A = this chain, B = another copy of it.
Amino acid sequence: MHTFDKSNYAQSNYAHNGASGASNSGCESSKESSRSSTPVLDTDRTDRLRDKMRRRTESGDHWFSLEFFPPRTASGAVNLISRFDRMGSGGPLFIDVTWHPAGDPGSDKETSSMMIASTAVNYCGLESILHLTCCNQTKEKITGYLSKAKRLGLKNIMALRGDPMGADWEEEEAGFNYATDLVKHIRCEFDDYFDICVAGYPTGHPEAESYDEDLRHLKEKVDAGADFIITQLFFRADTFLKFVRDCRAIGITCPILPGIFPIQGYQSLRQLVKLSKLEVPEEIMQVIEPIKDNDAAIRNYGIEQAVGMCRVLLESGEVPGLHFYTLNREVATMEVLRQLGLWIEDPRRTLPWAVSAHPKRKVEDVRPIFWASRPKSYIYRTQDWDDFPNGRWGNSSSPAFGELNDYYLFYLKSKSSKDALLKMWGEELTSEQSVYEVFTSYITAQPNVAGHKVMCLPWNDDPLAPETNLLKDELDKVNRRGVLTINSQPSINGKPSSDPIVGWGPPGGYVFQKAYLEFFTSSENVTALLKVLKKYEPRVNYHIVNVHGQNTTNAHDMQPNAVTWGIFPGREIVQPTVVDPVSFLYWKDEAFALWIEQWAKLYEDESPSRMIIKYIHDNYFLVNLVDNDFPLDNCLWQVIDDMFELLDNPPEEQPAEQTAEQPNDEQSDKEQPGK
C-alpha cells in the first residue's frame, strides 16, 4: 500500500513492497541472439543460472548465494518465506533448499523441500536450486521428483548421494550408488533442461578412501554433466584454495563455489562438525571454548572469522562467488555480506514489481496495479496462464484469473497470528468509525486505542514506511473520514531510471507514473464523489464497483490505462503497470473477500464486530482513480477534498422549476482544475 520516501513526494508501494521479492542484482544489457518479442529488460531474466555465473565471472562481479533447509512446521514455512523476501532483497544470485529424505521432501506439504523451493522460485522470485539425494531411491521415484520440479518451474538441481539410511548400506545394482549416477540420470532423462550442481569436499569426503580418490570422484561427477561445484564448509581459506588448485590440476574447469559457514553458536558448530565429520582448527577452538556460553560473543567472532576468510578468498581471484550456509538465520550472514560489500542495500529493480523466477513468466512485463501489495496472490491467481501479457496487456488472450479461495496456502498467509491481528485491528469493533481508526493508525504509524501499533492490513502485510510528510497528512485525513485507502502511487514526470526511490530498469532511462489512488468508501461518499468527478473529465479516470459487481466508470470498458512506464536508451517503451478494467473486476472479488476472510472471521459468528465488517463488505464501494495529467500536480487529493466539501455543504434544494437556472453549476465550473 502506501509507503513514503524522504523527499517530498510519496513513494508507491510498487517501489518498495513490490520489490521485496526481487532477486535482480545486475542490470547489464547484453546482446541477444534472437529477435525478442518483448523489450529486453534484463538479460538475467532470460539466462539460465550457469550463464549468469559465466557472465558475472567474466565481468569480475562477485556474487553470493544462500542455503536454507525446509522448516519443520507450517508456521516455520510462513516465516521462511518471509525470510526469503527479506534476504532476497539483498541480491543473492540464487538460493538452494536442502533435501530432507525423512521429511517427505517431494510432497505437496508446505514443509517439503519441493514446496519450499517452488515457493522461492514462483512467489519470491528467487533463482533456486533444489537438492536431491539419490541413495535408497528407485530411478522411477527420482524421475518423478525431477518431473515435478520441472513442472513447478525449478531449473536447477544439486545432485547428491545422500546419507545411507543405516550402517549396513551396500551398493545396489539397479539403484543409485553415487551422485555421479544421479547426474547421469538427470542428463539422460532431462537432457540439458536442468543446471546441475554437485558437492565438493575441500578436505575430502569423510567416506572416501583418500583425498585424491575423492577428487577423482568429483571429476567423474563433472564429466557426467555437472555445471558447477559448491563445496562443503571449511575453516581456512587455504584449504579451499588448495582444493581449487587440485581440481584444476586434474582438469575440472567449471565454477567452484566455496561454502561459507559463519559460526553462530557453540552448539550448532559442534553439531555440524559431528555431522560433517570435519575438524575445527585448533586456533578457532581456542577462541571459542572460553566464550562458549556467550552466544553474542561467538556470533561476533564467527562474523569476523568469516569476513576475514572471505576477503582472502575473493582477493585470490579464484572465487567468483560465495555460498553461505545460513542455517535459516539472517543476522550473521547478512552482516558478513554487508562487511564484504556484497549485500545490495538498494537493489536496482528490473521492473517496478517483483519478478517471478518461473521460466514461463520470463517474458512477463506488465501487470495490473491492483495486486501491488499482494504480488504472491497475483502470481497464484495467474499460475495457470499459458501466456503472459508480453508487450501490451491487451495482447494476452485474457485468460480468466483463478479463484482465490485458498487463503490457507502458507505463502499467501499473513505473517501475524490471530492474536496479533486482533490486537492491531481491534478485539471489539463498535462502529464503522472504529474501522476507520484502524486504517488511520496504520497510515500514521500511531498506536490504536488499545495501544497497539497497526503493522498490517488485510490488503497489505507490510507496515508503512515511517516517514511523516504531506501525503501522509492527506492519507490520515481521508482515512479518518472513511476513505479507506489500500493502494496509491504519486505522479512522476521523467525521473532518471537510476533514482534510488522511484527508479527501475536499465540505467540511462527515465521513468514516469500517473497518480493512482484506490480505496473503499460508503455509497453516500460515492454519490458525492460521482458528482465531483464530473468536474475532472477527462483528466481523471475512475472505476467504482461494489461487491455485487455494480460498476461505474468513465473509462473504456476494455482498454487498459498505462500508469507506470519507462523510456530507455535503444529500447522500446516499457509499460509495466496498467489499470486494467477487466482485471479490476477480478481484483474486486479478492479485495472484498479479504474483509471477510482476514478480518471478519477473527470474530465470533453474529458478533457485532463481525457484523460491522460484514456491513462494510456488503455496502461499501471499491474506488480507483487515475490522474492522467502526469506532468501536473496530482489532483486526486483535491478530488477527495471536493467530495468532502460537497458532503459538508450540500447545495440547497431548489424548487424544481428553478433548477435550470441555479448558480451552483457555474460556481463549480469555476473550480474546475482543467489543464
Contact of B569 with A541 in the complex, beta carbons under 8 Å: yes
- Copies of this polypeptide in the complex: 2
Q: Does A670 belong to the interface (CB within 8 Å)? A: no
Q: Are A557 and B508 in contact (CB under 8 A)?
A: no
A607 at the interface (CB under 8 A from B): no
Q: Does A388 contact B (CB under 8 A)?
A: no
Within 8 A of B (CB), among A520-547: 538-539, 541
Q: Let me know if B36 and A394 touch, CB within 8 A.
A: yes
Q: What B residues does A36 contact at CB under 8 A?
A: 394, 558-559
Please, which residues of chain B bring their CB within 8 A of the CB of A555?
570
Interface residues of A in 391-427 (CB under 8 A from B): 391-395, 398
Q: Determine the distance from Cα of A390 to Cα of B37 in the docked complex, in whole angstroms.
A: 12
Give the interface SS of chain A, mostly helix, strand, loop or mixed: loop
Known A29-B556, A508-B539; contact A38-B569, beta-carbon cutoff 8 A: no
Tell whether, in the assembled complex, residue B541 and residue A34 are in contact, meaning their CB atoms are under 8 Å apart. Answer: no
Q: Is the CB of B556 within 8 A of A562?
A: no
CA distance A493 to B512 in the complex (A): 12
In the complex, chain A residues 617-635 whose Cβ is within 8 Å of any chain B Cβ? 626, 628-631
Residue pair B567, A630 in contact (C-beta under 8 Å): yes
- The reply to whether A572 and B567 contact each other, CB–CB distance below 8 Å, is no
Whole-angstrom CA separation of A572 from B561 in the bound complex: 5
Contacts of A395 in B (CB 8 A): 37, 390-391, 395
Does A35 belong to the interface (CB within 8 Å)?
yes
| Nearest neighbor of A582 in chain B, beta-carbon distance | B35
- Chain B residues lying within 8 Å of A393, measured Cβ to Cβ, are 572
Q: Do A35 and B539 touch (CB < 8 A)?
A: no
CA of A560 to CA of B570, assembled, Å: 7
What CA separation (Å) do A390 and B392 show in the bound complex? 9
Q: Is A651 an interface residue (CB 8 A)?
A: no
Tell whether A565 is near chain B: CB-to-CB under 8 Å. yes
Given known A31-B557, A494-B493, A558-B32, contact A569–B628 (CB-CB < 8 A): yes
A472-493: contact bitstring with B at CB < 8 Å (1 yes, 0 no)? Answer: 0000000000000000000001
Chain A positions 452-478 with a Cβ under 8 Å from a chain B Cβ: none
A493 to B494, CA, bound (A): 9
Contact call B392/A556, Cβ cutoff below 8 A:
no
A568 to B575 CA separation, bound complex (whole angstroms): 13
Q: Whose C-beta in chain B lies nearest to the C-beta of A509? A: B628
- Min CB distance, A575 to chain B, in Å? 5
What B residues does A630 contact at CB under 8 A? 510, 567
Using A508-B675, A512-B567 as known contacts, say yes or no to A559 and B40 having CB atoms under 8 A apart: yes
- Cβ-based interface call for A578 (8 A): yes
Check if A549 is an interface residue, CB within 8 A of chain B.
Answer: no
Any B CB within 8 A of the CB of A254: no
Which chain B residues border A558 with CB–CB below 8 Å?
32, 34-36
Using known A-B contacts A570-B538, A573-B565, determine if residue A39 contacts B628 with beta carbons closer than 8 Å: no
CA A567 to CA B559, docked complex, whole Å = 14
Are A565 and B562 interface neighbours, CB within 8 A?
A: no
A242 interface residue per 8 A CB criterion: no
A571 located at the interface, meaning its Cβ lies under 8 Å from any Cβ of chain B in the complex: yes
CB distance from A675 to the nearest CB of B (A): 7
A573-585 CB mask vs B (1 if < 8 Å, else 0) is: 1010010001000
List chain B residues, Cβ under 8 A from A37: 392, 394-395
Q: Are A539 and B569 in contact (CB under 8 A)?
A: yes
Which of A32, A494, A510, A572 has its CB near the most chain B CB atoms (within 10 A)?
Answer: A572
C-alpha gap A675/B494 in the complex (Å): 14
Q: Give A500 Cβ to nearest chain B Cβ, in Å.
A: 16
B-chain residues with CB within 8 Å of residue A562 when the two chains form the complex: 567, 571-573
Tell whether, in the assembled complex, residue B570 and residue A541 are in contact, meaning their CB atoms are under 8 Å apart: yes
Evaluate contact between A398 and B573: CB separation under 8 angstroms.
no
* A572 adjacent to B394 (CB under 8 Å): yes
Q: Considering the complex, give the chain B residue whose CB is closest to the CB of A34.
A: B558
List A residues 318-336 near B (Cβ within 8 Å): none
Q: Which residues of B are found within 8 Å of A560, using beta-carbon distances?
A: 571-572
Minimum CB–CB distance from A532 to chain B (whole Å) comes to 18
Question: Is the Cβ of B567 less than 8 Å from the Cβ of A39?
Answer: no
Contact of A556 among B40, B391, B512 (CB under 8 A): B40
* Least CB distance, A534 to chain B, in whole angstroms: 15
Determine the chain B residues whose CB is within 8 A of the CB of A568 once the complex forms. Answer: 628
6 nearest A-B pairs in the assembled complex, by CB-CB distance: A569-B628, A35-B558, A391-B392, A391-B391, A562-B572, A541-B570
A-B contacts, 10 of them at CB < 8 A, read: A35-B398, A36-B559, A39-B392, A39-B394, A391-B395, A493-B494, A539-B569, A559-B572, A561-B572, A573-B575
A-to-B contact residues, CB < 8 Å:
29, 31-32, 34-40, 390-395, 398, 493-494, 496, 508, 510, 512, 538-539, 541, 555-562, 565, 567-573, 575, 578, 582, 626, 628-631, 675
Given contacts A538-B569, A561-B569, A562-B571, 20 further A-B contacts (CB under 8 A): A32-B558, A32-B559, A34-B558, A37-B395, A391-B391, A493-B494, A496-B675, A508-B628, A510-B630, A510-B631, A559-B570, A559-B572, A561-B570, A561-B571, A562-B567, A565-B567, A568-B628, A569-B628, A569-B629, A572-B575
